[in-house]
Amino acid sequence: MSETSVSQGTTGTAGSFVYTAGPATGNEILIDGWELIVGLEVHVELATLTKLFSASANRFGDDPNTNIDPVTLGLPGALPVLNRHAVELAMRIGLALNCTIQPSTFHRKNYFYPDMPKAYQISQYDQPINVNGFLALPDGKQIGIERAHLEEDTGKSTHFGGTGGRIHGSDYSLIDFNRAGVPLVEIVSRPDIRTAEEARQYVTELRSILVAIGASDAKMEEGSMRCDANVSVHKPGTPYGTRCEIKNVNSIRSLGRAIEYEARRQIDMNDAGETVRQETRHWDENDGRTHTLRSKEDADDYRYFLEPDLVPLHPSAEWIQAVRDAMPMLPGARRARLSQATGVPADAEAIMVVVERGQDDYVLAVAAAGGDVGRALVHVKEAFADEGATPTVPAADLAGLTLLEVRGSITATQAKTVLADIVAAGGGDATAIAAAKGFEAMDTGALEAMVDQVLADNPVAWAKYCSGEDKAMGALVGAAMKASQGKADGKLVTALVQAKRKG
Amino acid sequence: MSAPTSASSAVQIAAGVRSGQLKAADVLEEHLARIDNREGEIHAFNLVLADQARAAAAAVDAAVAAGNDPGPLAGVPVALKDNMCTHGIATTCSSKILDGWKPPYDATVVTRLIAAGAVTVGKTNLDEFAMGSSTENSAFGATRNPRDTSRVPGGSSGGSAAAVAAGFSSVSLGSDTGGSIRQPAALCGVVGVKPTYGYVSRYGLVAFASSLDQIGPFTNTVEDAALLLDVIGGHDPMDSTSIPAPQPSLLGAIQQGVEGLRVGRITDLPEGADPDVVERLEAAFDALRAAGATIVDVQVPAFSYGLTAYYLIAPAEASSNLARYDGVRYGMRVNAPDTNSMYGVTRTAGFGDEVKRRIMLGTYALSAGYYDAYYGKALKVRRMIADDFDRAYQRADVLLTPTSPTVAFPFGAKGDNPFAMYLCDVYTIPTNLAGHPGMSVPFGTGAEGLPVGVQVLSGTLGEPQMFRTAAALERAMGAAK
């Protein structure tokens, strides 16, 4: 498609979110010559006890309309009072995303909807509390954060009759105001995301951070984390294309699918000579497509103005420092620490998984107890999936097991068996368990004799391996393990077979 | 006016009841008798709470009998403008749109009045949602001025002003967004105070224009106003705009005279006040000079822009504040085939013309493409007004102006011309925009023997010197009688 139509699209860009070029990434992945540009707006419900502006409980799953009060319902005469804890959690998010915390204000965003009790939402507008940060993906790429601001949630409508659960055409609607006034932080990324996979990584990492700092339980399925995607495509070296905002994305998997679909749709339109219109689109999980929700022309005029019922929010330097001092270590730093300790890359699966489970402290405790940290990492990743951040198995017990392996007293396979017993019992002395099972490592001489026998018994596999088919090794090692009834160390067997081919 | 036989002021009623020399029940019956006698003519109330009031008065008397102190307003009958929330009692804002709604909570001022031993006699009439200057905009009919029932009591707190002027209650509360306490106080010949923004909690006051609204008292005496403000004022954690500091007692302040006080005359005040009103203002300057004050000339150049700035800012906030009356959760609902239509027909039926006019004006002023030219510019003017006042208050402790350009006017006199009605507040509005205190003190009569009020203004938290000045004017009038 001609570059002209793309640049015409950009002239239509309006609103507070104006695309500008992000940092060069070096890993652009082109689709039929088109580059994907994605920015994400993520709403998270804060894990406060009470609502943003009132003392009603902030709790998911209660009976409808039980966590309400005059402020929540927007009754005449009720006034908002800002929740200090919500501000602290917003500041934690800002600090975790490397933002600047600045003096901020609240505005009213005016529009009519039945589950909006005041007919306006109190939200931060031109002076948000957190600005100009970034989130580092596990591979190190930084995604810019434009802002992370406080606002209140709406109630929840359920529409009955009609089609598609929409208000339009429904027979009646029920409204639950329990969610109205729940504190939200909206985290707006810069359009630095280039692939659907990066979008998934961004949301996954953001979720880990939010959980780690106690800001939110960030459950997309419960709606405590919601994600809208701004998607456009362009030819590298030309201005960004017209974006569409995709709503109703309810899982990280759906996010990737929605972005991939939408990118394809826009590319096909461009390639067909059509013009992408700026609009809000609705992701339909069932048909796997996005559909027009409303065009830019139909957008509400929200008539923002400064909320006169609140005063400016200007956290003191002391307050910000106190919040900073109370911050826990973030997932990225924890991965780096574990990577340092184990020599395994920070974005390796074992490290990602163990840090996600919060078991990295435990792995390091095993090392501190004299255990082998690399083996501890693998064991924790493989065998502690059902354990929390503080496994019941004493770190010293797992350390004991890794020492048996290091010394060659038992094989890796035997170690797994012993570990299963230890995990099942919530602890145990690896040496005693191994002895009770009659595990002992084969001495080198016996092992070599056995390997020779295995090669003799499996001439076809041995010949293939010698002719360069490395995958034939699997059959040889498997045969050795079988012959030794699991007592052989797989790594030693492999080494011996390799040595015999060279020899 | 039939003066109270038991006591002539709230201070005296409370002192008598606390000491056991007066019965709260007797005080209340005198007021209820006056209501019985004249309310049909005046229509000060949307709701008279005789039974609740009798129970409250009995409780006050029982407390005194038991040796307990019911508080500084013991047995004082009080009327509440019907835009202040009262738990379980209809609160209408004189609008059909709130039909049937009973608040599940008390406004902070109501809680404080009750805790101080006051006895609520009723909810008073107002211009719908406090939008107006004559109380003619009430959905439930106009209130008459007790001084001359062919004339308006002023507004929007006309019912509260009339209740005190007619002796239906000893004191009352109103709300003042652009003059809605001071102007009716002037027209009805009573004291009316708009405190510094944030002095009195707005929690439970149904909002008109949140950045301007402020609750204040109507009383027969300056001392009563000080007493009432001492009770209802002070920080409230439920109102984020409430000033987070204790306020000095105004009862204490009014004991001081005005010797050495600098009283400012605004030389560039907008013209248009009637000659009888100007004459009383000059008399007030003379009285203060005689009492030892110094009169100084000051300029407040942006004063004259107040009215136009106000009629952008107040409607803008109102358009947002009144959007919640959508028929979904409470009050009136007119059914329609779909939600958007329901909003439209409900609000069309529920709001009166003046409210609709201001909602449209405010919606327009905030709209994309017009915001900077209208609302944004009005905010700049607001800042200019506050700055000009601040400069004036470097030279003067208080300023004196007319409260209203005219005495009470006949019903319908400005009915066809909204702007003529808006001009009623030309002298009161700039104070609200600046967030400053202002009060109206009766200072004799003008044309046809109707009351004239003089307005005393001061800077932020200038209530003590404002009350000292008002008390001096009151003493001068008393001495002249």
Give per-residue pLDDT as tens, A421-433: 999 999 999 988 9
Question: Closest Cα of chain A to B96: distance in Å?
Answer: 14
Q: Which residue has the higher pLDDT, B75 or A411?
A: B75
pLDDT bucket at A16, cuts 50 / 70 / 90: very low
**A-chain residues near B320 (CB < 8 A):** 108, 110, 119-120, 303, 305
B180 catalytically annotated:
yes
Cα angle A390, A392, A396; round to 5? 95
- DSSP, res B207: P
- Mean pLDDT (chain A) is 89
Nearest CA in chain B to A54: B238
Beta bridge partners of B174: B216
Crossing angle of helices A490-502/A444-457, nearest 10°? 70
pLDDT, residue A20, reads 40
Question: Closest Cα of chain B to A115: distance in Å?
Answer: 9
B81 catalytically annotated:
yes
In tens, the pLDDT along A120-160 reads 999 999 999 999 999 999 999 999 999 999 999 999 999 88
Q: Long-range contact list for A467-474, CB < 8 A, 24+ apart?
A: A473/A497, A473/A498
* Catalytic, out of B95, B134, B169, B180: B180
Contacts of B282 (CB under 8 A, 6+ apart): none
pLDDT, residue A413, reads 84
In tens, the pLDDT along B291-330 reads 999 999 999 999 999 999 999 999 999 999 999 999 999 9
CB contact (8 A) between residue B105 and residue A70: yes
Q: Does residue A442 have a pLDDT over 80?
A: no
Which range, of A56-60, A469-473, B285-289, B386-390, averages the lowest pLDDT?
A469-473
- DSSP, res A215: S
Q: Where are the domains of chain A?
A: 3-11+31-305, 331-436, 444-502
- DSSP, res A64: T
CB contact (8 A) between residue A79 and residue B238: yes
What kind and span of H or E run contains A469?
none
pLDDT, residue A2, reads 33
What average pLDDT score do residues A279-299 get?
A: 88
In tens, the pLDDT along B433-449 reads 999 999 999 999 998 99
Q: What percent of chain A has pLDDT over 70?
A: 93
Q: Does residue B1 have a pLDDT over 60?
A: no
Q: Does residue B478 have a pLDDT over 90?
A: no
pLDDT, residue A21, reads 40
B96 catalytically annotated:
no
What average pLDDT score do residues B412-422 get?
A: 87
Q: Does residue B336 have a pLDDT over 80?
A: yes
What average pLDDT score do residues A76-80 get?
A: 98
**A-chain residues near B240 (CB < 8 A):** 79-82, 309-311
CA dihedral B456, B462, B463, B466 (to 10 degrees): -30
Q: Is A27 exposed, middle or buried (0-12, 13-18, 19+ CB in 10 A)?
A: exposed
Question: Closest Cα of chain A to B183: distance in Å?
Answer: 23
Angstrom CA distances, A501 to A467, A488, A495, stand at 9, 19, 10
Q: Choose among B239, B241, B304: nearest CA to B272.
A: B304
What average pLDDT score do residues A163-183 get?
A: 87
Mutation choice for B interface testing from A54, A79, A174 by most B CBs within 10 A: A79
Q: Does residue B45 have a pLDDT over 70?
A: yes
Contacts of A24 (CB under 8 A, 6+ apart): none
Q: What percent of chain B has pLDDT over 90?
A: 94
- DSSP, res A441: P
Q: Is cis: bond before B156, omega within 30 of 0?
A: yes
pLDDT, residue A441, reads 61
3-state secondary structure string across A406-431: HCCCCCHHHHHHHHHHHHHHCCCCHH
Angstrom CA distances, B312 to A137, A208, B378, stand at 49, 47, 7
Q: Residue B202: which of A79, A114, A120 has the nearest Cβ?
A: A79
Q: Which structure tokens are listed for A470?
A: 């490395």
Q: Does residue A76 have a pLDDT over 90?
A: yes
What average pLDDT score do residues B285-295 get?
A: 98
Which is it for the CA torsion B11, B15, B21, B26, positive or negative?
positive
Q: Does residue A8 have a pLDDT over 60?
A: no
DSSP states of B288-311:
HHHTTPEEEEE--GGGGGHHHHHH
* Catalytic, out of B23, B81, B123, B194: B81
pLDDT, residue B481, reads 64
In tens, the pLDDT along A345-379 reads 999 999 999 999 999 999 999 999 999 999 999 99
Contacts of B334 (CB under 8 A, 6+ apart): B327, B342, B345, B346, B348, B349, B350
pLDDT, residue A443, reads 67
Q: Does residue B462 have a pLDDT over 80?
A: yes
d(CA A7, CA B416): 55
Amino acid at B212: L
Which range, of A66-75, A76-85, A458-467, B136-145, averages the lowest pLDDT?
A458-467
Cα angle A127, A131, A133; round to 5? 175
Crossing angle of helices A490-502/A473-483, nearest 10°? 130
pLDDT bucket at B416, cuts 50 / 70 / 90: confident
CA B12 to chain centre: 23
Domains detected in chain B: 10-255 (3.90.1300.10)
Query: Domain A444-502: which topology?
Result: Arc Repressor Mutant, subunit A (1.10.10)
d(CA B451, CA B433): 26
Q: Which structure tokens are listed for B475?
A: 């003493």
pLDDT, residue A164, reads 67
